[in-house]
Every structure is written in C-alpha cells, then in structure tokens.
Amino acid sequence: MDRREFIKHSAAAVAGTSVLLTACRKGGAGRSQDAGVAESDPSQMTMRVNPNTGDRVSLLGYGMMRLPTTATGSARENADAPIDQEAVNELVDYALAHGVNYFDTSPVYCQGHSEEATGIALSRHPRSSYFIATKLSNFSEGAWPRNESQAMFMRSLEYLRTDYVDYLLLHSIGGGSRGRDAIQTFYARYMDNGILDWLVEQKQKGVIRNLGFSYHGDIRVFDMLLRWHDEGKYHWDFVQIQLNYLDWHYAKRNNPRNTNASYLYAELDKRGIPAVIMEPLLGGRLAKQPTHILKEMKRADLNATPAEWAFRYAGTPDGILTVLSGMTYMEHLRENCLTYSPLRPITAEEDALLMHLADEICNLNAIPCTACNYCMPCPYGLNIPAIFSHYNNMLAEENVSPRRWLNGYDRAVPRTRQADHCIGCDHCLTHCPQRIHIPEEMQKIDNLVEQLKQR
Amino acid sequence: MLRKIRIILATVCFVLVNLLFLGVGWGVTQHIAWVAQIQFLPALMALNYGVLVVLIALTLVFGRLYCSVICPLGVMQDLFAWAGRKSKKNRYGHSPEKKWLRYGVLAVFVLCLIIGFAPVTTLLAPYSAYGRIVNSMFRPLYDLLINGLAAVETRFDSYMLPEAEIWMRSVTTFVVALLTLIIPGVLAWRHGRTYCNTVCPVGTILSFFARFSLFRIRINEDKCRKCSLCEKNCKAAAIDFKNGTVDLTRCVVCGDCIDKCHDGAISYTVELSAVSRQPSDVSRQQSVKEPDSSRRAFLTGSALAVGTAVMAQAKIKMDGGLAEIEDKQVPHRETPVLPPGSVSARNMNRHCTACQLCVSACPNNVLRPSTDPMRFMQPEMSFERGYCRPECTHCSQVCPAGAIQPVRPEDKPFVHIGHAVWIAQNCIPVANGDHCGACAKHCPADAIQMTDYRTEDGRTVQVPAVDKERCIGCGKCEYVCPARPFSAIYVEGNSTHQVH
C-alpha cells in the first residue's frame, strides 16, 4: 500500500468513526440538531487531576491575553481601546458556569491590563471555585533587579484581588535578550537576583501553590531546568509548552529554532510533570484553514470545525492538565466548552489524518506567527503580526490575484506600518517566542510585494 | 435640435473630463486621456498642430462650439446658469462687448506666455482651472466614496477597489480652485457666460475665428416679431433683438435661442456674407474682476508638536500596541524634483498649464502642486507618502501640454531626475545607535552603499554613501528612511534631467 492509498483508507476510516461518534454525542446529550446554539453540560467537562495538589482542573483553560475591548476585536488588535470589562465578566461567568476553572494571565498581557480585568471578573465568585495562573514576566532589563521582580509579583496579587496564586510561571524561558543568549538571560532574570529562590519561599508560605515555567525557544534552558528537577535542585509542579498538531513533529520545519512538541511532552510525561498547553490553535491559525485542508477535514467529520480538531488533538494526551485558549468571543468559548464536554480523544486514524494535514500545511511555508504580540510595539511602527497574518492568509487562499493581495494588504495594514518600513534594527528578535527571524521575513514579504506591484 | 446635440456632446466630454480628473483607475484613464489632449491651451503649449488645426477649423465652420462642448469650465458655467434659470426666467439681456477687457487680458496673457511667466497663464487657462476644481474638491469626495465602498466590499471578501489616501496636497491650490469655482460660478448663475466673454483668453482667441464661421446663428428679420425672448435667453449676451444682430465673437452656439423663438425666426445655417454687424455701444460697462489669485495666502504648514517615534524606555515592556508614527514633513529642496519626462525645470515651467492631471494620475502620492510663486500650482515631487515607482509612467502619459513628455518604463531607470543627499544628524545609526540601512536595502539603482562612519562621540556606525552617478532620484530612500519628521536622506532635483 503506497502512502497516498494509505491516507485515503485512513481518511475513510476516520470519516466512519467520527460520524458514529458525532451521532453518539448529539444523541447522548439530547441537544437540538443545531450545533450553533448548543450549550455544553458543565458536569460533562473533562477534568484532569494535578498529582501535586490534587486540583481538579478543567481541560479547557481560559487564556486572558486576548480580552475583548470596547472597539471591534480583542486587546491584541486594539491597543488603544480599553478592555470591555462587562464582556469579560460575562465570558468569565459563562466559563465558570460551564465547568472552566483555570484562568491564565500575566502582568504584561493586554498592555498590562489583563490581570486587573481578570481580578475584577473572578473576585465576583468564591475564591475556591477557580484556579489563577499568572507569571513573573520580567522580560525587560528594568525588571531584573530583585526588588523590581518582587514588586511585579506583589502587584499581580493586588490586581488579581487575592492573597495567593494557584499557578505561578517563570514566563517564557528560553528567550534571549540584547547581548545575552538564552541561558545568560535566564540567569539574569531568575538566578542572579535570587528570585527563583524567593518564589520557592513564597510557595512554602502558601502564597504560590504550584511553581512552574512556560517555555519557548532555546531548548538548552528547558533541558537545564528539567535536569535541576531530576537532581532535586528545584521541583516543577507543572510546565507550560506549545502543543498542537503542527508543532508535534513539524516545529523544526516551521522554524529550525523551535522544538517539537513531541519531545517536550515526552520529557515532561516521563517525569510525571503535568503539562499546560498553549497555542493549541497557533493564535487562531489552525482555526482558519486553506480550502483544500478544510475539505479533507469536512470529509472526515462534516460537523467538526478546524478549531474542534485542534482542541481535541491538544487535549488527548493524559499528561495534559489543561489546554489554554485565548477566547475573545462568546461563540468561541461556547464551542470550546462543547468540544471538551466531554473530550472525545483523537483516535489513531484521526491522528494519522492530522499528521497528514500538518504535512500539507507545512508545505505552504506559512510564517509561524501566533500573533502573541510580544514583538510589539515595533519601535519603527510596523504592525508585525498584521503583516504576517495577511501573508499567511494569502498563502492559504487559492489563485490570489495581485490586486487581491495588494488591496487586501493596504486594508489590513496602513502603508506606514508595512514591511517596507522594516529597517532591520533587530529589536524584535529577542522577543519572538516562535523564534521567527522577523526582519528577514519582512524583507521576503517586501520583495514579494515589489514583484506583485511590478507585474 | 442644435441645443440637443450640443447638450449630448457636452455631457459626454464633461463626464469624460471629470472621470479623468477623479482618477477612476488607470484602466479607464489611459483610454480617455485624449479628452485632455483636445483642449486648446494644452495643445498650444504642446505645439500639437494637429489638434490646433482641427479646433480652428471647427471654429471656422461652426463658431465657438468648442466653448459649449469641449471646454469643461464652459460646461460647468452652463450648469450654474441652468440652475440659476430655475429661479428666474428670461433674465439675460444684450450688452456690448467689453473689448478693452477682453483684449487687455489676452495681451497680458500672450505677453506672459512669451516671457514665460507661468503664474498668470496657469491661472487663466480655463481647462486647467476646471482640472484644479475637480482635483482639489471633488477628488477627495470621490476617494471617500471609494474607501467607503471598499470597506463594504471587504465584508463580502472582495478586494477590487484600491483604497486611496486622502490628503491636502496644497492649501493654496485648494483656495485658488475654490475661487475659480465660486467666481465664474456666481457670474454664470447671474449673468451667463460673462467669464468666457470677458476674461477667458481661449474664448477671445477663438472669437477671432468665430466671426468668420460658416454656420452661424441668424435672425430672419421677416419672421421676427421683436418679442425679445431670444435676447433674454442668450447667456452670452450676444443677441441684440432690436437690430436683429448676433455677436459671433461671443456666441457660443448653445442653440438656446433657437428653441426659445416661437416664430421660427432663428436658424443655425450657412451664411455666405463674412461680416456680421458689430454692436458699437460701449457706454455701460460692467466691471468684471478676474479670479483673484491667492498667492498671498502662503500657508507654510505649521509644524504640530507631535510625539516622538522613539519609545520611551519603560521599565517593563508590555506586549502589544503600536508605536506612534510621526508624519513626515517636506524638506526644503534647492531645486524641485520633477517627474521623468519633464526634461528640465524650464521645460516644465514653459509648458505646464497647472491642470493637475498628472497629480490626479499619480498612484504613488508623489506629485503635488508647487507653492513657489514662479511655479505656482505646477507639479513637483515629494516623497512623504510614496516614491516614484519604476514601473509607473502615468503622469507622462496623461500630460496634454508637453510639460511631461512620454517616457517608456524601460527608459525610466536611465533618467536621473535628482540625487540623494544624506543628513548625518538625522540618520538613525548616528542618532540612536540602532542598525539601519533601509535606504541601501531599497535603492533600485544600487546607488547607496553602507560605510563606516565615526560619530562625534566616537562610535563607529554604518551610514549610507550615495553614488550620485548612479542615483536616479526616485525618492525610495527618502520614503523608507525611518527618521522623522525629516528623513536623513532626501532628494535634490536636477534642474535638467540627465540621461545616462
């Protein structure tokens, strides 16, 4: 059986299984056939147990980094618009009512307003009904001194209106900074100032219940921290990694500086460290699929959305504590709750299909930007995530005319913020958790734009 | 019949001129650019003999039909007059020709043409006056409409319409355009074709030929009952019903009188006698002011205090948000930068009638009217919003006056319209130490190399070195330069364009 034939067979098998499964689910839940307005049953939400504390954590975790604003779009797209607190309250209420109990924020999210908005929304509910995760986001050199980092943590407690944090992360280890590699940067952020030891003290005092880290980038830092865990130097209660069906095998193919999720997860699993998953949708990229990918997905399961596939994939391994999703809109929250109430684990056939689709998606050579906005603001005014998003969208569309490409570009990004204004100052390089060489990609996109304009 | 034909033809020409100046897209523009080339003054400037001969022949046969059909400013006045007639019927009357004003203005005009004093000729040119009105007043409204439609079509995932940047290219030109809309407009509203028959130099020139025209408006004395309706409806004040004469130098062959006459006494026919009786009464003279140029209203864009582009180094970098971008300001250029095809500053100054068609056709937001009094409203280039793109030759293809002569895209890289000049203190590597090189990276002529430079405080940084021999002056370096509000590299014009 050659490869193509195998895929065909497996796709057919997947189609069969999923139709059956879908039928079971719809029938079992006794919901109307209209999936668009279906509500999830909170008692059905898949829960995972944290072996350290016995916390029963919902498989769907709420990422508070794309909160809605009073303008159209999330705080990612609208830096100037204030956060729509009422909408945040509604979303949080809905999430809690439907079984979601893990909320993940950071002092730097939404230009620094996420923790406060999260605190306001959550403090309206009993403190025991949810878990708060936040981070020590001391990226800037100005935040490296011990007292500054300590102040950052104390501010988090204040904004979150609580006296303890359930999950505290060293934020995005593995990144470099100006003139320092990733290891040196890690030492500057957490070791030389004694902050890690101070955090361990806080854990002993009960101010922090679980201590962990989130990882992007240089694998040496990840390996070093797990070695410390093995040696008993530090104990990691959980680790946050990027996992989705693209990153499982193809993180390298997307970008040579990334690490495959299969490796990261295996390292955690063999030590029994629960994994928190970020970027299950790659910043929404996996929710919007090119037509030919979408066709294959629909052939396998007519009712499932690309997002549903991605969430099911990310939630399937047992060692995963929760899967974070930065949900801006109620529709997304509702759909994701449904997906995990309960989780239908990915079958072997479905896994084969997704691996095959990952293969095809990688061949598009999309830029692996997740629109996390860590690179922003670009000091020279570029809208980096918007440029990448347009570029990727155009890759995903079939038969794009130059007019479509260029007019769409002007509509997506104002001229003064387009790729031709990148000067190659390289300030962004240390910020990108996906290790995208942003200036090089900008040059590539600008060359393409030139070609299209001269055609 | 004459009136109907005239209205149909005038509508066609007028619509085309408007489409041309609104910039409805190059696909349309390149096919209707001829409507600018058949205008009298641009043809004269371009020494386009074919068009001139045809226009003069047309006038010799049909009279001043040009003024009623081809000239957009004439048609615009007819529109105002038509609107004015709604309020009051039969409101015109005969008035004698104001020879001193007509020929005085023409004399000044010809003199300025000969000595090459452009501000006067450009102000008086009727077609150019209308071009400026559309370009500075209607064009922004049209762009607004297109941007609105573009926003709507985006919702349907359609991307056909290019979004336009709406900006004030020149305040003075806007004011002049507003005055040329209001003054002839009000005159037309109240008195009909006063402007055409007292001020307009093209009208006066054509009147020399019109007096000999083959076809002409004629009053049949036998049928005429002296009801005066024709005179009261002649917007050119050319009919004297008492004497039964029509002043052919002022008649624009609109045909309104023929339709008004109940007795069929007026006809538009061949008359062999070449001399028409000229009215001699010059006692009542209305003073008509020519549109006042607002050269005095020199608005040097007052620099607004704008926030700097460089971020304040906050202790904690929050993620997200966009850095503020300060608007670029036009640098002072010793020599203006003119588009490829304009040959030299002198050629531009001699031929351009400042109609703004090139400004309208420029898709890169490079061309704008000058505020320099000697080159008043003639185009010049600046690179705050774009640069002269290599594949574009639109301005050279639309210019009807020979001020920008046709250039082929394949020849464009060899026309050196200017050269880049570097300003050390503005340059980003010198100013804040960031690595740059945007200008060198983007230069299409490979004229910029990055080289070592020692700053005053002893740092060695990479800065651009310009090879003037290679630089073609396209302005891309100036456009992409991150220094704001003034670029660290800008283009100085070459007074005569070099070709090598």
Residue-wise pLDDT for A369-413, tens only, equals 888 888 999 999 999 999 999 998 888 777 788 899 999 999 999
In angstroms, what separates the C-alpha of B163 from chain A's closest C-alpha? 7
Nearest residue in chain B measured CA to CA from A79 = B321
Could you tell me how many CB contacts below 8 A there are between chain A and chain B? 122
Distance of residue B467 Cα from the nearest chain A Cα, in angstroms: 21
Positive or negative, the CA dihedral A39, A42, A46, A50 is: positive
Beta-carbon separation of B321 and A79 below 8 A: yes
pLDDT tier at A73, thresholds 50, 70, 90: low
- B319 and A379 within 8 Å at the Cβ level: the answer is no
Contact check, Cβ <8 Å, B434/A425: yes
Helices within B246-399 (DSSP H only): 256-260, 345-351, 357-361, 394-398
Mutate one of B311, B318, B427 to test the A interface: name it (highest A CB count within 10 A): B318
What's the complex ipTM?
0.79
Residues of A in contact with B386 (CB under 8 A): 415
**Chain B residue numbers touching A417 (CB-CB < 8 A):** 322, 325
Span of A157-161, A232-236, B266-270 with lowest mean pLDDT: B266-270
CB spacing of B159 vs A107 below 8 angstroms: no
| Chain B residues lying within 8 Å of A112, measured CB to CB | 316, 318
Q: Mean pLDDT, chain B, as a whole number?
A: 87
Q: A256 or A123: whose pLDDT is higher?
A: A123
Nearest to A373 among B316, B319, B428 (CB): B319
Test A411 with B159 for CB contact under 8 angstroms: yes
For A107, which residue in chain B has the nearest alpha carbon? B318
pLDDT in tens, B131-143: 999 999 999 999 9
List, as one string, the DSSP characters of A335-357.
HHHHHTTT--PPPHHHHHHHHHH
User: How far does A389 lie from chain B, in Å, by closest CA?
Assistant: 15
Integer CA distances (angstroms), B80 to B73, B76, B84, B92, B204, in order = 11, 6, 6, 14, 21
Q: Which of A91-105, B75-89, B197-211 has the lowest mean pLDDT?
A: B75-89
For all residues of chain A together, what is the average pLDDT? Answer: 87
Give pLDDT, residue B91. 82
User: Residue range A177-194: average pLDDT?
Assistant: 93
C-beta atoms of A376 and B319 within 8 A: yes
The predicted-structure confidence for B296-326, as pLDDT tens digits, reads as follows: 333 323 333 333 333 333 456 677 788 889 9
Structure confidence at residue B307 (pLDDT): 32
Give B314's contacts in chain A (Cβ within 8 Å).
140, 142
For chain A, the structural domain boundaries read 3-362, 384-454
Domains for chain B: give ranges and CATH numbers: 2-135+174-270 (no CATH), 414-500 (3.30.70.20)
Q: What percent of chain A clears pLDDT 90, i.e. is strictly above it? A: 64
Q: Which of B165, B319, B325 is the best substitution to test chain A (most A C-beta atoms within 10 A)?
A: B319
Q: Is the peptide bond before A345 cis (omega within 30 degrees of 0)?
A: no
Q: Tell me, what's the pLDDT at A74?
A: 67
**Both tokens of residue B6?**
């005239």
Q: Kindly list the residues from chain A whose CB atom is less than 8 angstroms away from the CB atom of residue B165.
A: 415
pTM above 0.90, yes or no: no
Q: Give the tens place of pLDDT for each residue, B370-386.
A: 999 889 999 999 999 99
**Minimal-distance CA residue of chain A relative to B478:** A421
Nearest CA in chain A to B316: A140
User: Cα–Cα distances in Å, from A172 out to A169, A218, A317?
Assistant: 8, 10, 23
Tell me the chain A residues in contact with residue B322 when contact means C-beta distances shorter than 8 Å.
79, 376-378, 381, 383, 417
pLDDT confidence of residue B287: 38
Residues β-bridged to residue B367:
B381
Nearest to B389 among A140, A377, A453 (CB): A453
Sign of CA dihedral A367, A371, A377, A383: positive
What is the reported pLDDT for A22?
Answer: 41
- DSSP state, B134? I
Residues of A in contact with B442 (CB under 8 A): 420
CA angle A283, A289, A293 (to 5 degrees): 140
Do A407 and B390 lie within an 8 Å CB cutoff?
A: no
Q: Specify the pLDDT at position A151.
A: 95
| Contact call for residues B331 and B394 (beta carbons, < 8 A) | no
Which among A76, A110, A454 has the least Cβ separation from residue B391? A454
For A64-218, where are the alpha helices, taking DSSP H only? 85-97, 114-122, 146-159, 182-186, 195-205
User: Does residue A182 have a pLDDT over 70?
Assistant: yes
Average pLDDT over residues A114-142: 95
Q: What is the pLDDT of residue B271?
A: 62
pLDDT digits (tens, 9 = 90+) for B484-494: 999 999 999 99
Among A401, A411, A422, the strongest candidate for a mutation testing the B interface, having the largest count of B CBs within 10 A, is: A411
pLDDT for residue B105 is more than 90: yes
Between chains, do B154 and A411 touch, taking CB under 8 Å as contact? yes
- The region of weakest confidence among A338-342, B208-212, B268-272 is B268-272
Which chain B residues are within 8 Å of A406, Cβ to Cβ? 162
* Structure confidence at residue B181 (pLDDT): 93
Question: What does the pLDDT read at residue A98?
Answer: 96
A3-362 is a CATH 3.30.930.10 domain: no
**Residue closest to B252 by CA, chosen among B63, B451, B499, B467:** B63
CA of B186, closest CA in chain A: separation in Å?
A: 41
Q: How many other C-beta atoms lie within 10 A of the C-beta of residue A128?
A: 7
Q: Which pLDDT score is estimated for A75?
A: 63
Report the b/e string of B87-96 with b at 16+ CB within 10 A.
eeeeebebbb
- Please report residues of A whose CB lies closer than 8 A to that of B436: 423-425
Report residue A254's pLDDT band, with 50, 70 and 90 as the boundaries: low
Report the residue of A399, A407, A443 to disrupt the B interface, i.e. the one with the largest count of B CBs within 10 Å.
Answer: A407
Please report which confidence band the pLDDT of residue A366 belongs to, taking 50, 70 and 90 as the band edges: confident
| Token pair belonging to A205 | 């005092």
Q: Which two tokens stand for residue A64?
A: 């508070």
Chain B residues touching residue A410 (CB < 8 angstroms): 162-163
